[in-house]
Amino acid sequence: MDENSVVEVMNNGRPCSSHHFISNLPFCLLKEDRFQLHRLEPYFEMSAWAELMRCVGEDDTEWMCRVCDDTSRPDGRRCRWVQCDACLVWLHFECVGIRSKPRTDYFCFKRK
| Domain residue ranges of the chain, discontinuous segments joined by + | 3-58, 62-112
Residue 86: other Cβ atoms inside 10 A: 12
pTM higher than 0.85 for the full model? no
CATH number corresponding to 62-112: 3.30.40.10
pLDDT, one tens digit per residue, over 17-71 is: 777 666 556 666 676 666 788 888 888 889 988 988 888 888 776 778 888 888 7
Query: What's residue 34's pLDDT?
Result: 64
104 DSSP 8-state letter = S
Amino acid letter, residue 62: E
Question: How many alpha carbons fall within 13 Å on the CB side of residue 65?
Answer: 18
Query: What's residue 112's pLDDT?
Result: 47
Q: Are 52 and 44 in contact (CB under 8 A)?
A: yes
Residue 12: other Cβ atoms inside 10 A: 8
Buried b (16+ CB within 10 A) or exposed e, 30-42: beeeeeebeeeee
